[in-house]
Amino acid sequence: MDKIGMVGTPCQITAATLMKDYESFIKEFPVTLKIGLFCMENFSYKYLKKLLKGKGISLKEIIQCRIEGGSAKFHLNNGDIISVPLKELKEAMRKSCQICMDYTAEQADISIGSVGSPRGWSTIIIRTKKGLELIKAAEKNKYIKTRPIDDHGLELLQSLAAKKKEKNLIEIKEREKVARQVMYWRVMPETQYLEEVTDYQFRDLKGDVIDIGACVLCGACLLSCPEEIIKIEDRKPEIRGECPPACNACYIACPRTYVPDNLISHETAKKPLGNYIKILSAKAPMFKGQDGGVVTALLSYALSEGIVDKVLVVDKDTQNPWKPIPKLTRHIEDVVKAAGTKYSACPIFKAMGGS
Q: pLDDT of 289-321, one tens digit each? A: 666 699 999 999 999 999 999 999 998 887 777
First to last CA, the chain: 19
Domain with CATH 3.10.450.750 in the chain: 43-92
- Residues of the chain whose pLDDT is less than 50? none
Interior CA angle at 12 toward 290 and 291, to 5°?
10
Q: Are 313 and 299 in contact (CB under 8 A)?
A: yes
Taking every pair of Cα atoms in the chain, the longest distance, rounded to a whole number of angstroms, is: 58
The pLDDT, as a whole number, for residue 58 is 85
Q: What is the pLDDT of residue 217?
A: 93
What single string gives the DSSP state of each residue in 90-146?
GGGB-GGGGG---SS-TTSSEEEESTTS-TT-EEEEE-SHHHHHHHHHHHHTTS-EE
Instruction: Spell out the residues 6+ positions from residue 167 whose beta carbon is closer than 8 angstroms to its own.
Output: none
What pLDDT is stored for residue 88 in this prediction? 82
Residue 330: what pLDDT?
Answer: 95
- Distance between CA atoms of residues 120 and 135, nearest Å: 18
Decide if 116 contacts 123 (C-beta within 8 A): yes
83-120 b/e (C-beta count within 10 Å ≥ 16 → b): ebeeeebeebbbebbbbbbbbbbbbbbbbbbbbbbeee
Q: What is the pTM of this model?
A: 0.92
Of 214, 189, 168, 203, the closest CA to residue 264 belongs to: 189
Give me the pLDDT at residue 354, please.
58
Domain 43-92 falls under CATH 1.10.150.120: no
